[in-house]
Amino acid sequence: MTSSTPRNEELFDRARQLMPGGVNSPVRAFGSVGGTPRFMVSAKGAYLTDADGAEYVDLVCSWGPALLGHAHPEVLAAVHAAVDRGLSFGASTPDEANLAALVQERVPAAERVRMVSTGTEATMTAVRLARGFTGRNLIIKFAGCYHGHLDGLLAAAGSGLATLALPGSAGVTAATAAETLVLPYNDLAAVEEAFAAHGPNIAAVITEAAPANMGVVTPAEGFNAGLSRITREHGALLIVDEVLTGFRTGYSGYWGLTGGAAGAAEPWTPDLLTFGKVIGGGMPAAALAGRADVMDYLAPLGPVYQAGTLSGNPVAMAAGVATLTHATAEVYSFVDARSLELSAALSGALDAAGVDHSIQRAGNLFSVAFGTSARGVHNYDDAQAQDVFRYAPFFHSMLDSGVYLPPSVFEAWFLSAAHDDAAMNKIFDALPRAAKAAAAAATA
């Protein structure tokens, strides 16, 4: 591990005296990999700079939003202009509709759009709306899929496929958890069984378009389409969470690559979608979208209440409009190509070091899972069964070489339009030593 990070260590020591764990989001604490978290002070293009002045090629990209690269000049210009006009008005602004129109143009299933501030707020609203629209209480989610930290979706699986969930976090009541069914991902038979047992009470199924919070997991062929079919047959709604994948895995998100693509093998359409990350271009912004008749159940038209003082914040909307405007088909083609190059180089380095692994993909998002070549990763149990102990030495070797990876093996790797040949070569050069570190790792 890196031994000399005096300013980062000083900042972390101070932060721990002021904030729980020294962070405002748990993964930043480096709990999964150990060592001192890096406190970043600036970013440009494909690079981050920490408080000690060390520069890193960034493969986190703010967990997705930096699709164009950090501090993209067009996004900065739009934000600066918006700031000059004022930070917040508590009233409607033109860019709210401009951003909604861009979302609708890319995702035809987004017949109506409601702007909010965070992905958690978007999924919370989607769940409330589904219950209000259907008059039902139960929600199905999948083990390993993350939809923000709302109580009802921080639930753990019960003892059987059709058993109501248990609290998955302290502070979540048993009664709240019992309104959620947690099922194995990629298992349509489990979904059918749950509907057979509880169908008249199920308001919605919520799923990540392609999971990226247990590492990346590719939906089995026909899985999302099957969810659409089953929910439609039972009068429930399908909520597709694209907070991570939306406008990151493609021009129209992961739905656009699969169910919404021209010539898709089995076309399907969600009832509701949630967006975040890229839609705000690095500013706090997210959205709920979907069928007009469902969305119109939201206040002020309908009986389902949702409000937010900072929803549609003008600075965030300006960043989102600029980002989506400049996220062209050419940008996605470039990022897709870079993703294939990097994942191939990663796999090659691990093969050369004799490290068993698989690469999990969803569009241009990917992750590595150690010790899984025989079976791959198809659900949460598969993800948990991997050789997690190999990631920390791999991560720190890359960090020492000036490459910033997600500080958890259960996260996706992100690239941007700013990852030029120089940035890629720095990553490629770091991989062999990191692969050897993973090979030498021992279980605790």
Token reading at 117: 């501030």
Give Cβ neighbours of residue 4 (< 8 Å, ≥ 6 apart): 52
Cis ω before 284 (30° cut-off from 0):
no
Rg over CA atoms, the chain: 21
Is the CATH number 3.40.50.2300 carried by domain 7-67+329-440? no
Report the C-alpha gap between 295 and 359 in whole angstroms.
37
The model's pLDDT over 350-389, given as tens digits with 9 standing for 90+, comes to 999 999 999 999 999 999 999 999 999 999 999 999 999 9
User: Rounded to the nearest 5 degrees, what angle is found at the Cα of 156, between the Cα atoms of 385 and 135?
Assistant: 140
| Residue 264 pLDDT grade (very low, low, confident, very high; cuts 50, 70, 90) | confident
137 and 201 Cβ atoms separated by less than 8 Å:
yes
Closest C-alpha to 326, from 85, 102, 83 = 102
> Does residue 160 surpass a pLDDT of 70?
no
* Cα distance between residue 171 and residue 155, in whole Å: 11
End-to-end CA distance of the chain, in Å?
16
User: Are the C-beta atoms of residues 42 and 53 closer than 8 Å to each other?
Assistant: no
pLDDT digits (tens, 9 = 90+) for 131-152: 999 999 999 999 999 998 888 8
At 159, is the pLDDT very low, low, confident or very high (cuts 50, 70, 90)? very low
Backbone φ and ψ of 133, nearest 5°: -70, -40
* Number of other CB atoms surrounding residue 94 within 10 Å: 10
**CA angle at 342 for the pair 339 and 346, rounded to the nearest 5°:** 135
Q: Which residue has the tokens 């993800």?
A: 383
Closest by CA position to 157, among listed 166, 149, 148 = 166
**Thinking of the domain 73-326, which architecture would CATH place it in?**
3-Layer(aba) Sandwich (3.40)
Alpha-carbon gap, residue 50 to 159, rounded angstroms = 46
What average pLDDT does the segment 174-192 reach? 92
User: How many other CB atoms sit within 10 Å of the CB of residue 92?
Assistant: 10
- Rounded-to-10 torsion of CA 426, 429, 432, 433: -80
Angle between helices 421-440 and 329-352 (to 10 degrees): 30
pTM comes to 0.95
Token pair of 217, please? 């997991």
Tell me the CA distances in angstroms from 411 to 145, 367, 376, 391, 408, one per residue in order. Answer: 12, 7, 16, 11, 6
**Alpha helices of 264-390 — where are they, by DSSP H?**
292-295, 314-326, 329-352, 380-384
* Tens-digit pLDDT profile for residues 409-422: 999 999 999 999 99
Cα–Cα distance for residue pair 357/54, rounded to 1 Å: 30
Report pLDDT digits (tens) over 276-288: 999 999 999 999 9
Q: Catalytic amino acids?
A: 146, 241, 277
| Residue-wise pLDDT tens digits, 420-431 | 999 999 999 999
**Annotated domain spans of the chain:** 7-67+329-440, 73-326
Specify the DSSP class assigned to residue 173. Answer: -
> Coil, strand or helix: which one is 202?
strand
pLDDT in tens, 316-356: 999 999 999 999 999 999 999 999 999 999 999 999 999 99
- Tell me if 272 sits within 8 A of 238, measured CB to CB: yes
Closest CA to 178 of 169, 194, 170, 167: 167
The confidence score (pLDDT) of residue 1 equals 46
